[in-house]
Structure 1
Amino acid sequence: MNTATLARLTDLLLVALDPPPAEARRLVHGRGRLLPGLEQLTVDWLEGVVRVGLFREVPAVELEALRTTLTALGETPIWRASGARSLLLQHRYRLDAASEALIGAPVGEHVIHEDGLTFGLDLSRHQNMGLFLDMRLGRRWVREQAAGLRILNLFAYTCGFSVAALAGGAAQVVNLDMARGPLTRGRENHRLNGHDLGKVSFLGHELFKSWGKVRKLGPYDLVIVDPPSFQQGSFALTKDYARILRRLPELLTPGGRVLACVNDPGVGADFLIAGMAQEAPGLAFVERLANPPEFADEDPEGGLKVLVFGQS
């Protein structure tokens, strides 16, 4: 990152914060490779907190120049008028994904909003804060489709899809994730939105050891599959996704649908379309959902892929 690149970053942020978005949004998406020199940088607006993610270690002189550039934002009238209280620089390339507060105080627990729904974040300890902003339109789609449905949410994380589904009138949602901590956050997200927890189940299980329980709680009108690209000891996308796809027909009601997702830049939508045709030929590709415009990517296959399949 040279002087010109950092000047452009300043310009982008001043425009994005004048005024700031009303809800949480990505402000700068360097990872989309449309901003030369900023490919390893993202900036998110988290309703009073600006979080900068640095995805690759840079030389000390460049890091100090970045810190100086970001700190200088706090002296601008636009920053002061934005209502921003803190600016965090997160070192995503580090194992501990440590954050430092360049403006204001460090931030831990924090609340944001999306489409009028409330979500709790943890900005202090984890690489991921608790909600993936690029999935906003996927959650919106689920909310629009959910009325009266029984839904299975696999790899549920902090239950963002589940919150959207309950807001859309889902009859029941089953959330499954092997990590119990995120599921606890998911339960709290439902409470933040005043949802009836009697309509929500939280299963802290490893999927491939829990098919019997998952099937017993079904069948489902909609199955959401949003796995990580890799989860040590439990899931590798290119190897294990097919194992999920072939079980989908036994989980679905007649006319049921699947929302299948991939967020590996090296794996395109054809991976899901071909995989579904091979493993569950009764489920036909229906449509690919758009990504939020702020997540534009040089290669459309490099960003998030969210695909809908329905029984043919």
Structure 2
Amino acid sequence: MTITSDSLQDRLQQAREKREASTTLSQTSLRLFDGEGDGIAGLWIDRFGEVIIVHLREDRRALQEQLRGLSPHLPELFGVSSGYLRIHETDPKNSALHSAVLLFGDPIEELWVKEGALEFLVRPSQQVNGGLFLDARDLRCELARISSGKRVLNTFAFTGTLGIAAFSGDALEVVQVDISKSILRWAKENYERNFSSSPRDGMRFIAEDSRSFMARENRRIEGGKEPYDIVLIDPPAFGRSDGKPFRLLSELENLIQSGVSLLAEGGELFISCNVRQIGFEHLEKVASREGSRLGRRITNLERLLPPSDFTNRSLNAAHLRGIRLRVS
């Protein structure tokens, strides 16, 4: 179906009104348009304060002309000053290699955006998601609520926002692990922004392959080290570590097994997965099976879902899909 400029503008307006009615528009950062959920597959728009990032799937490149034609109206429609456009190629690895291009307004290399009492650094043109996963907003809120006095391990930490949310909820200790030193520097910037005025011990950043770190921690726990109360596993769909490829499809069982092994009695594992081939049922099945292998009983299985501004709930949607479980 051909999408005209008028029909595109109508869809964007409807999406805005939908979020306005549900009060999510009051969020500083949110998904303004969510593909099929708002009527146009392959198009999604994220707002970070005064900036939007317009994402287009490669097979929807034809919409670029309409978007550029509408660009004078987008600041008023979405309440922003600048916008970037990012094309997502069929191979996600290629998408990550290219910067987003300016669609309208002045370039904004970086900005701080508020999320509740926290602030996070966003670099709109650099990372595919700007450095902040909007679909994990509710998860960050929950971690802040439940982490008081707990030891938290955040693997594949990226810019550290999950661990920072846990620390803001008075976690006793938060260990942030990621293979990328540059990404961990970003995580440290987020940490310093939020806690420099009230510093306290308990936050550590470790540049290491998350799989290797979990294996070493398991050996330490077997040797008497105190286990964790909360383990967060939020891996990418693909990557490389020490020259070896990482693919979540083939790593999932080992990751869940490692996470469960690291937990104290009554501890909780949160694992997310944005690989379209892995559904909730598969995650739940693998978690139960790996728990049984370890002699740990899995209880309180819950599904992790994105916030309500993510309206595309199809299995093909590329957003938060995960589970939360307790072990005993």
- State yes or no: 1:91 paired with 2:96: no
Query: Which residue does the alignment assign to 2:298?
Result: 284
- State yes or no: 1:51 paired with 2:53: yes
- Structure 2 counterpart SS, 1:295: coil
| Structure 1 residues 244 and 99: CA distance shift in structure 2, 3 A | closer
Q: Distance in 2 between matches of 1:284 and 1:301?
A: 28
> Which segment drifts farther, 182-191 or 211-220?
211-220
> Which segment drifts farther, 175-184 or 281-290?
281-290
- The alignment's TM-score, normalised by the length of structure 2, stands at 0.83
- Structure 2 counterpart SS, 1:71: coil
| 1:66 Cα deviation after fit | 2.1
Question: For 1:40-98, what per-residue CA distance to the aligned partner results, in whole angstroms no more than 9, with x for missing partners?
Answer: 111112111122111225455x4222211223334x5x56xx3x221222223364333
| 1:225 Cα deviation after fit | 1.0
Q: CA RMSD in A?
A: 2.5
- Structure 1 counterpart SS, 2:125: coil
| 1:136 Cα deviation after fit | 0.8
Query: Which residue does the alignment assign to 1:209?
Result: 212
> Is the CA contact 2:304–2:320 (under 8 Å) kept in the aligned structure 1?
no
| Structure 1 residues 157 and 289: CA distance shift in structure 2, 3 A | same
- Structure 1 counterpart SS, 2:312: coil
Q: How does 1:15-164 map to 2 (within 5 A)?
A: 15=17, 21-30=26-35, 33-36=36-39, 38-58=40-60, 62-74=63-75, 82=79, 84-93=80-89, 95=95, 96-164=97-165
- Structure 2 counterpart SS, 1:270: helix
Unaligned runs of 5+ in 2: none
Please point out which of 271, 279, 286 is paired with 1:275.
286
Q: Distance in 2 between matches of 1:291 and 1:17?
A: 18
| Structure 1 residues 150 and 14: CA distance shift in structure 2, 3 A | closer
Q: Distance in 1 between matches of 2:316 and 2:68?
A: 32
> Is the CA contact 2:176–2:204 (under 8 Å) kept in the aligned structure 1?
yes
> Is the CA contact 2:83–2:103 (under 8 Å) kept in the aligned structure 1?
yes
- The alignment's TM-score, normalised by the length of structure 1, stands at 0.87
- Structure 2 counterpart SS, 1:299: coil
Q: Distance in 2 between matches of 1:167 and 1:128?
A: 23
| Structure 1 residues 249 and 190: CA distance shift in structure 2, 3 A | same
- State yes or no: 1:296 paired with 2:311: yes
- State yes or no: 1:11 paired with 2:13: yes
| 1:197 Cα deviation after fit | 6.0
| 1:267 Cα deviation after fit | 1.2
Q: Distance in 1 between matches of 2:28 and 2:277?
A: 30
Q: Distance in 1 between matches of 2:314 and 2:166?
A: 30
- Structure 2 counterpart SS, 1:63: helix
> Is the CA contact 2:154–2:177 (under 8 Å) kept in the aligned structure 1?
yes
| 1:186 Cα deviation after fit | 0.8
- Structure 2 counterpart SS, 1:2: coil
Give the count of matched residue pairs.
Answer: 303
- State yes or no: 1:305 paired with 2:310: no
Read off the aligned partner of 2:45 and give its amino acid letter: V
| 1:190 Cα deviation after fit | 0.9
> Is the CA contact 1:42–1:54 (under 8 Å) kept in the aligned structure 2?
yes
Q: Distance in 2 between matches of 1:226 and 1:133?
A: 14
Q: Distance in 2 between matches of 1:204 and 1:283?
A: 32
| Structure 1 residues 59 and 227: CA distance shift in structure 2, 3 A | closer
Question: For 1:228-248, what per-residue CA distance to the aligned partner results, in whole angstroms no more than 9, with x for missing partners?
Answer: 122233421121111122223
| 1:308 Cα deviation after fit | 1.4
Q: Distance in 2 between matches of 1:298 and 1:244?
A: 25
Q: Distance in 2 between matches of 1:121 and 1:40?
A: 23
> Is the CA contact 2:119–2:194 (under 8 Å) kept in the aligned structure 1?
yes
